[in-house]
Amino acid sequence: MDKKIKIRSCWLMTLLLFIATSLGASEKVLLVGIDGVQYERILALNTPAFDRLNLIKAYAGGVQWQKTQQRTVSGPGWSTIMTGVWKNKHNISSNTDGAANNNWPSIYRHIYNANPQAKIYGYSTWGPIHSQFFARDMEVLTAHAEGGSDDDNLNRTLNVLENDFPDFIFLHLDEPDAAGHSHGHGQAYDDSIVRSDRRLGLLLDAVAFREQQFSENWLVLVTTDHGRNLAGKGHGGQTKKEKTIFIASNKPLHYQYKNYTAVPNNSFDGLYKEPAQTYIVPTILNFLGIMTDDHWGLDGLPLIGPIEAKSIYVNIGGKQCGLEWDINAGTPMTISRNEHVAKFDCEGNADPMFIMGNKVYTNIHGSGCGLQWDVDKGTPLTLEENEHVAKFDCAGYADLMKIIGKEISATINDQICGFQWDADAGTPVTLGSNEHVAKFDCMGSADPITIK
């Protein structure tokens, strides 16, 4: 190489580095999706690239029999991975549905909204992720491709990692799913996973090189959309094997989420105590510093960063009563499919709550549900003129609360309303002798609460 050119290219790289670092944060994300990989086969096979990552079990398909349930097929699965919500929100229930629900943006759109200068790339061997579900988001991508082979899209990704300054890349690889459909479990399927592992190794090398070269901090996440049925040739049902997936990362993923689960049953050998594929988007947003409390309309939690589960208690007649959501669908207390009445239970434990900013959330059947006051006057749930029943809404966002010391209050129609338990036994809103409906009272003060 001519010395002059060498000096010039060195100068050019320094300039590019200067521009890249001056543009913003050094946090970058690579999300690799490998279609139809059975978690247990990664453990069983020699997969040196996966061995470089922290690998945890997770679940797909939502929570069975609940509104979050979705088929363990690619359309709903990738839509959940890209949006952080289940089918009841993203609206994709099969591989042939059109566009996903605009109200729940893809990770592409979230990153663009936070930083319109961000360089976002997407390469998807399975085309519908880009051409059907998130077609409208292609406009925010610096470059994208759909279809072709895994190696085509691997090479596109490596090229970007080696020659550009990407902020976010999503790469979808398809070979294991195709091998599974053709051959079921066996040598061909296992070989496809080993080849995927080699591709992953090249990506991890390219990321490691960038981290050394440009002092960038990369989050790498690897996941799959679904497991496989018994023979391995198909998938789509609600079996433990089809629902079991994985999340792998170059960063440590915390395990406290096991205490967050508010799914009452313990089906599939406790699989619901693992994180779900809804945790991918909150994890990425958190790492990039664009996670706000508003994002908890999402159905998952970040697997990195400081998130703590809290319990909220009040003292009723000398008893410690924990804040819970109402699990009994179909009772007069269930407002609608997406709403659950908040109550204080003086017999059992409190449900885990997440206090993020000035909002209170809980996880109900795999959904992120925000604490709200009930705006519908005249329903049997409105106690009287100045009282509003507290509820958890799993479709929308939480209402803004003021959480100061021992009190929670909300502003309702310009009035300050304190969070209280319902003392009036015998009203239609009293659930049982040991249960009290939580409410916001706009006349008096709030009841003192304890947050543990």
The site for Zn ion (CB under 5 A) is made up of 36, 177
**Smallest distance from the beta carbon of 235 to Zn ion, in angstroms?**
6
**Smallest distance from the beta carbon of 124 to Zn ion, in angstroms?**
14
> Which residue is closest to Zn ion by CB?
177
Stated length of the chain = 452
Closest to Zn ion by CB, 13 vs 231, is 231
Rounded Cα gap, residues 268 and 59, in angstroms: 10
Strand segments (E) across 308-351 = 312-316, 319-325, 339-345
The backbone torsions φ and ψ at residue 29, rounded to the nearest 5 degrees and listed phi first, read -135, 135
Rounded Cα gap, residues 188 and 210, in angstroms: 34
Closest to Zn ion by CB, 81 vs 309, is 81
**Smallest distance from the beta carbon of 128 to Zn ion, in angstroms?**
12
Q: Are the beta carbons of 419 and 449 closer than 8 angstroms? A: yes
**Smallest distance from the beta carbon of 228 to Zn ion, in angstroms?**
8
Closest to Zn ion by CB, 227 vs 366, is 227
Closest to Zn ion by CB, 177 vs 447, is 177
Closest to Zn ion by CB, 50 vs 126, is 126
Rounded Cα gap, residues 132 and 203, in angstroms: 27
Closest to Zn ion by CB, 69 vs 74, is 74
**Smallest distance from the beta carbon of 34 to Zn ion, in angstroms?**
12
Question: What is the token pair recorded at 143?
Answer: 């470059």
Count the alpha carbons within 13 Å of 186 in the hemisphere toward its beta carbon. 9
- CA-wise closest residue to 82 among 58, 109, 106, 111: 106
Rounded Cα gap, residues 159 and 162, in angstroms: 5
**Smallest distance from the beta carbon of 133 to Zn ion, in angstroms?**
16
The backbone torsions φ and ψ at residue 313, rounded to the nearest 5 degrees and listed phi first, read -125, 155
**Smallest distance from the beta carbon of 274 to Zn ion, in angstroms?**
22
Closest to Zn ion by CB, 175 vs 345, is 175
DSSP 115-154: -TT--EEEEESSTHIIIIITGGGGGG-SEEEESS-HHHHH
Residue 164 to residues 16, 152, 241, 437: CA-CA distances in angstroms? Answer: 9, 18, 39, 56
Sign of CA dihedral 136, 142, 145, 149: negative
Closest to Zn ion by CB, 177 vs 216, is 177
Q: How many helices, marked H, and strands, marked E, lie in the chain?
A: 13, 19
**Smallest distance from the beta carbon of 27 to Zn ion, in angstroms?**
33
**Smallest distance from the beta carbon of 180 to Zn ion, in angstroms?**
7
Buried (b) or exposed (e) across 334-364, using 16+ Cβ within 10 A? bbeebbbbbbbbbeeebbbbbbbeebbbbbb
Using DSSP, state whether 217 is helix, strand or coil: strand
**Smallest distance from the beta carbon of 123 to Zn ion, in angstroms?**
19
Closest to Zn ion by CB, 96 vs 163, is 96
Rounded Cα gap, residues 120 and 116, in angstroms: 10
Closest to Zn ion by CB, 30 vs 42, is 42
Q: Are the beta carbons of 173 and 203 closer than 8 angstroms? A: no
Closest to Zn ion by CB, 36 vs 105, is 36
**Smallest distance from the beta carbon of 226 to Zn ion, in angstroms?**
7
Closest to Zn ion by CB, 177 vs 441, is 177
**Smallest distance from the beta carbon of 234 to Zn ion, in angstroms?**
7
> DSSP character for 45?
S
Q: Are the beta carbons of 285 and 109 closer than 8 angstroms? A: no
Strand partners of residue 57: 246
